[in-house]
């Protein structure tokens, strides 16, 4: 191992995800030189504490689910490194790929670059609406904090889209790297459960409305209303029961937003 990892801390947001984290990132967990910060958002599922058997790994179990963005912000406040790397629990990546990722960031030719992502997860060209996926993100911690971190009004979904838009509006740069190799077991970050899927989709509907209201004020309520109607129609006219349930959850999230509810007011028992 080279000495370059000393400037990197890894952040993982868990929701009862200890087993998949251990399965996907074993050599990363074993690395003594990299600090791993795990925010456990399921207070009733403290299995992540067992991961503290690995060196330089710290688990913070929350009293309630504080959401993805708030969890990342909390972890950055516990970090003292130059760089932070966000990894979803369902990301499979080796230590050598993380070393390569950090090398690219340290040798970045553009001084105003603050965030790096694999190019397989970029969306669009470098424009004001460019964004990258939050499942694997490397950033300079101080600049992330100065940008405002993740918007804690958002509980889940669109937090990285919002962050990217704010970064670019400050004339800072996002870089994508083509040869970072990893696998993403999409949707496997937490145990599979119908209630969890409904919960996620409610937040998708709410957060989509919030994002458009925040960044496109000229279309404000009209955008949120269109989002609600779109998912309502998909719910009403779908012949696939499982998709219908999830579209209903998205419509309920959008409706909650339209009625002034915060992202913390998700009542899946009413869906």
Q: If you write DSSP's letter for every residue of 126-150 in order, what string do you get?
A: SSTT-EE-TTEEEEEHHHHHHTT-S
Q: What is the pTM of this model?
A: 0.90
Q: What pLDDT tens digit does each residue of the chain (271 aa) get?
A: 444 444 999 999 999 999 999 999 999 999 999 999 999 999 887 778 899 999 999 999 999 999 999 999 999 999 999 999 999 999 999 999 999 999 999 998 888 999 999 886 554 444 455 788 889 999 999 999 999 999 999 999 999 999 999 999 999 999 988 788 888 886 656 666 888 899 999 999 999 999 999 998 777 668 999 999 999 999 999 889 989 999 999 999 999 999 999 999 987 665 5
Q: Is 157 helix (H, G, I), strand (E, B) or coil?
A: coil
The pLDDT assigned to 188 comes to 59
pLDDT value for 119: 80
Q: What is the pLDDT of residue 49?
A: 85
Contact 177, 118 (CB under 8 A): yes
Give the C-alpha separation, 65 to 246, whole Å: 21
For residues 191, 257, 268 and 133, what is the CA-based torsion angle, rounded to 10 degrees? -10
| Residue 167 · residue 78 · CB < 8 Å | no
């Amino acid at each position: 191992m080279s000495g370059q990892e000393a400037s990197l801390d890894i952040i993982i947001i868990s929701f009862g995800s200890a087993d998949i984290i251990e399965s996907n990132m074993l050599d990363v967990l074993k690395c003594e030189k990299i600090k791993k910060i795990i925010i456990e958002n399921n207070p009733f599922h403290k299995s992540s504490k067992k991961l503290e058997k690995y060196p330089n790994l710290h688990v913070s179990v929350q009293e309630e689910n504080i959401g993805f963005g708030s969890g990342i912000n909390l972890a950055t406040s516990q970090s003292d490194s130059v760089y932070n790397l966000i990894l979803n629990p369902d990301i499979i990546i080796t230590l050598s790929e993380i070393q390569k990722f950090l090398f690219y960031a340290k040798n970045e030719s553009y001084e105003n670059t603050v965030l790096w992502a694999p190019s397989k997860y970029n969306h669009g060209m470098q424009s004001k609406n460019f964004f990258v996926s939050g499942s694997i993100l490397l950033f300079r911690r101080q600049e992330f904090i100065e940008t405002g971190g993740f918007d804690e009004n958002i509980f889940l979904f669109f937090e990285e889209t919002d962050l990217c838009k704010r970064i670019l509006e400050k004339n800072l740069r996002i870089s994508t790297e083509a040869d970072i190799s990893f696998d993403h077991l999409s949707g496997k970050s937490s145990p599979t459960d119908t209630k969890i899927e409904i919960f996620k989709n409610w937040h998708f509907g709410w957060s989509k409305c919030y994002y458009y209201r925040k960044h496109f004020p000229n279309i404000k309520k009209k955008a949120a209303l269109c989002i609600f109607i779109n998912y309502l129609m998909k719910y009403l006219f779908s012949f696939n029961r499982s998709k219908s349930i999830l579209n209903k959850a998205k419509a309920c999230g959008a409706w909650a937003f339209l009625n002034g509810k915060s992202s913390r007011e998700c009542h899946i028992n009413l869906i």
